Amino acid sequence: MQGSKVAHDFAQRECTVHASLNHANIVKLYGYTETSTDYVLVMEYAGENCDYLSRKVLRDLSPIKSESLLKLWSTQLLSALAYLHDRGIIHQDIKLENVLLRHPDKSATSTEYEPAEIKLIDFGLCSVIADPSTQMSFMEQKVGTEKYQAPEVASGAWISSAIDVWAFGVLLYELAVGYKPQTLENLVNVNYYQPNKGCVKMPFFQKDWAKREPQLLDLVSRCL
């Protein structure tokens, strides 16, 4: 019974929060209804091949080689996160599986190339900051996806929007090279990047980052 109540509370919060959002890079929730056993959500259709990023990186271990697309999609995701954080909302489960790509409708008369756009989904684990003056939220029970969790994520911990920034850093890292930074833990011949003493030492293979702009490695490291 307790488990059912917790699940119900999470679902209710997801619907309430998601319904209040209106951003180009967040999938729209058009409406929802509650049955005796479930919540039914009616959302924007992201189209075919919307899971392109997770399939390309998680399944094929292949990075996004285009610098322009990587910049575009990371900027769009950051825009969505900034929108949430400005409203006191922490997503708490930023990961590739929750970042879809909506490809533009193909028109027989259109000759211009239009890139796909980011659509952030799944607010089932989100948290709302009750006191804006503190910018902190109490995490009653540990939630999220392990490889994307910031060090401070724990049951009974006070967390902030910084945990989303950490997860974004992991996501950007794997988009850039095709694997997560944790993959390199305990390996030999690994380089470490630390822009300043306030940042953790981020492991990386020089050969995998050689063709990337130096600013990208710096940005990822500052997120972690």
pLDDT digits (tens, 9 = 90+) for 50-69: 999 999 999 999 999 999 99
Q: pTM of the predicted model, to two decimals? A: 0.90
Q: Which of the pair, 36 or 11, is modelled with greater confidence?
A: 11
**Amino acid 112: pLDDT:** 65
**Amino acid 194: pLDDT:** 72
DSSP string, 22-50: --TTB--EEEEEE-SS-EEEEE----TTT
Q: CA-CA distance, 57 to 145, in Å (whole number)?
A: 16
Whether residue 63 contacts residue 176, with contact meaning beta carbons closer than 8 Å, is answered with yes
Which position has the token pair 């990075």? 63
- The active-site residue out of 9, 93, 122, 131 is 93
Which pLDDT band holds residue 198 (cuts at 50, 70, 90)? low
Which pLDDT band holds residue 2 (cuts at 50, 70, 90)? very low
Q: CA-CA distance, 10 to 128, in Å (whole number)?
A: 12
List the beta strands (DSSP E) in 54-164.
89-90, 99-102, 117-120, 127-128, 137-139, 157-159
Q: Look at the domain 2-223 and name its fold.
A: Transferase(Phosphotransferase); domain 1 (1.10.510)
**Amino acid 211: pLDDT:** 85
* Domain coordinates in residue numbering, the chain: 2-223
pLDDT higher than threshold 80 for residue 5:
no
Q: CA-CA distance, 99 to 25, in Å (whole number)?
A: 9
E strand or H helix at 221: helix 214-223
**Amino acid 38: pLDDT:** 79
Is 86 annotated in the active site? no
Whether residue 187 contacts residue 165, with contact meaning beta carbons closer than 8 Å, is answered with no
Which pLDDT band holds residue 153 (cuts at 50, 70, 90)? very high
